[in-house]
Chain A
Amino acid sequence: MRILAALFPLLLFVAAPAQAEPQDFPEKLDIGISTDEIAITSDFRGADLTIFGAIDGFNANLLAQGKYNIVVALEGPKESSTVRKKQRIFGIWINTSSMTFELVPESYSLSSTRDIETIAPPDQMNNMGIGVNHMPLTPVGYIGDGSSVGEFRDAFRRLREATGVYQRDPGGVQFISSSLFKASVRLPADVPNGVHVVRAYLFREGVFVAAKALPLRVVKTGLEEAITQAAHKRPFLYGIVAVLLALVTGWVASVVFRRD
């Protein structure tokens, strides 16, 4: 029962894009990952994921001409993000304005058969929200006359790419036989915990024909998980333990190194 309850939100995740899938194309997309769970251990330094997939019902002619393109994205859990801008006031740099974007992925790794700007027209990518430059960034709250939305969006994308939590690899998807492909995506070292989604999209001559999504859970394990749980579920006790740990460490040191 608990497993079912845990899987339920995952099923929703998977089901959502499938509804948007167009029905009038013969091609279907299938993907698989070796694991549906990534464990963060104390020596976690990021992880490379390989996703295998196949195109069903393809047109052999078009495939041979390289008219099929595949985009695979690994999207992290979504959170609201605030971009702040500094200005010089009385000689010091102060955060003066900010903009909050609702529910943007905390991490995003994109892999494709070639540069996604050459796969489909920008409008199409904007509609589907594929790629760092096309994902929806909706400001919340008061934004004035809206003239600054562009600069905050650009700053958001640039910063997320600079810190490596958003990345793209044109050429990361490779065909290993006529219709079988593999894609590599990367989880950064400071990956957010929670449910990530692997989304794969198939394009034929610039037209979107099929999509598939799979959930991937990123969880802390062992000690890391226990500590996080304790810090959030029993914060008062956790604080007391932190203080006791400090007292004992300081006391032990004073006994061990005692010289008088």
Chain B
Amino acid sequence: MTIYLPIAELSVNILIILGMGAAVGFLSGMFGVGGGFLITPLLIFYNIPPVVAVATGANQVVASSISGAITHFRRGTIDIKLGTVLLCGGLAGATVGIWLFALLRRLGQLDLVISLAYVLLLGTVGSLMLWESINALRRAARNEQVQLKRPGHHNWVHRLPLKMRFKKSKIYLSVIPVAALGFCIGVLTSVMGVGGGFIMVPAMIYLLRIPTNVVVGTSLFQIIFVSAYTVIVQATANYTVDIVLAFVLMVAGVVGAQYGVRVGQRLRGEQLRALLALLVLAVGIRLAVELVIPPKEIYSVVSAGLGY
């Protein structure tokens, strides 16, 4: 059963797209991540032009993040003030990212940069998460008490100027690292089509020492607005958002996520993190292998239309 994608300008098997959306939705529900870092590479493996995959991936992230954000909003676990500072950095980053995206596309290096960025990011984050969760699992096996880092312990981040009080998070922090983090995530969103939660959450906890209870909600708040902004700008500047593809992915994704959440609740936190780390590493390694092994075809053809 095929469906024609009007923007990607090709026919695809709708069952494969539904399957991809459901699988990524399942995993994102299970691990509590947006899934952009999985959907964009999967679409590229399935021959969707990278330009369309990135822009459409950002659209899928909006859908998969909204229900989580609504839940956190009801529970009052979003620090709007902190989120707004992140968002300001994020919007600036996304703007730079889209400009970078267009530049790389002209130079013919977009696919390389997207792959390299994925390899670096997924490799680093995956390794760190795996290391952390294996240690946690070993401690749990030995029945040791997990040592909590004291939030009072300050690092260089807390010596920066322009401090601001964030009441909900109960912290007093410089806006510079917050906006800088938002900026980096914004660049990643527009160049790679990811929400960036899997980097933002650890950075907020370990680097900025923001209390864990507001971290997820606040990062979702930032992700929704930056992804939505990216979608609108990509649509306006590059005409690369495929609404048909995005809709099929979204519907399958939100349904898959519900089942993922149920499975996720039966697993322990450190088991979940170890599994997510393995998944992140697997995607990174798959992309790295592609860059390193001699390609079957060293030439590629793009025409003036949708090439990259």
Chain A residues within CB distance 8 Å of chain B: 40-45, 79-88, 91-95, 98, 106, 152, 155-156, 158-160, 162, 189-190, 192-193, 220, 223-225, 227-228, 231-232, 235-236, 238-243, 245-247, 249-254, 257
Contact = CB atoms under 8 A, between A and B. Distances in A.
Contact of B109 (A95, A242, A252, A254): A95
A41 B5 CA distance: 10
Contacts of A83: 299-301
A45 B2 contact: yes
Given A236-B236, A243-B228, A253-B67, A84 B302 contact: yes
A41 B63 CA distance: 27
B232 interface: yes
A48 B148 CA distance: 68
Contacts of A238: 235, 241, 243
A187 to B, nearest CB: 12
B60 to A, nearest CB: 7
A115 B203 CA distance: 64
Contact of A40 (B4, B63, B244): B4
Chain B, interface residues (CB within 8 Å), range: 35 or more
Contacts of B7: 227-228, 231
A242 B57 CA distance: 12
B62 A82 contact: no
Nearest to B237: A235
B99 interface: no
Contacts, number: 179
The B interface is mostly helix, strand or loop, or mixed, namely: helix
A193 B5 CA distance: 13
A79 B304 CA distance: 6
The 5 closest A-B pairs by CB, nearest first: A239-B235, A250-B66, A254-B67, A253-B254, A239-B232
Interface stretch (B81-89, B158-166, B287-295): B287-295
Contact of B246 (A85, A158, A245): A245
A5 to B, nearest CB: 24
A82 B112 CA distance: 17
From B9, B246, B257, B299, name the one whose CB has the most chain A CB atoms within 10 angstroms.
B299
B71 interface: yes
B232 A240 contact: yes
B257 A155 contact: no
B42 to A, nearest CB: 18
B258 interface: yes
B109 to A, nearest CB: 6
